Homo-oligomer: A and B are copies of this chain.
Amino acid sequence: MKERLQKAFARTGLRQTPQRHDVLAWLVRHKRHSTAEEIFEAVNRSNQRLSRATVYNALHALVESGLVRPVAVEGAASRFDATLDRHHHFICDRCGAIEDLAWFGLPVKAMQAAAGGRAVRDVEITLHGTCERCARGKTKPPPKTE
């Protein structure tokens, strides 16, 4: 694990500070999609002491170098995701949970046609719907009677 992170840092040329290491390690270890605040608390709780600003700095550096990906969630604190493996996301309308989905390919031709002259670096796919827990009625049903 240590080595995996070492390599990741080496590969991207990003200087590895203890703080950056801890942030990335947390994201790799915990597959949920944490907010900056959660990471801040979690890492501080364990060993290292690091400031809020450092969490943001580290996250930005990691995103910049591609080791971490921001998961865009509307109307809430953004979440982050170590992406040493490719995957898509599913967000539940009702409870807001973010789940990982297996990677599936895209219609590259159609996509490039739509993109026109733009240089595409990455594609982000998010499915929205109802997660299995919510579908089973584990959470309160939507207020609409209709």
Contacts and interface: CB of A to CB of B under 8 A. Distances in A.
B118 A122 contact: no
A106 interface: yes
Interface string A112-146: 01111111111111111111100100000000001
B104 A110 contact: yes
Contacts of A93: 121
A10 to B, nearest CB: 14
A99 B110 CA distance: 17
Interface in A59-95: 70-75, 78, 88, 90, 93
A13 interface: yes
Contact of A127 (B72, B88, B122): B122
A146 B11 CA distance: 12
Contact of A121 (B104, B107, B121, B130): B130
Given A70-B74, A75-B78, A105-B107, A129 B124 contact: no
Given A74-B72, A78-B74, A125 B123 contact: yes
Interface in A27-77: 70-75
B126 A130 contact: no
A127 B118 contact: yes
Nearest to A70: B74
Interface of A: 13, 70-75, 78, 88, 90, 93, 99, 101-107, 110-111, 113-132, 135, 146
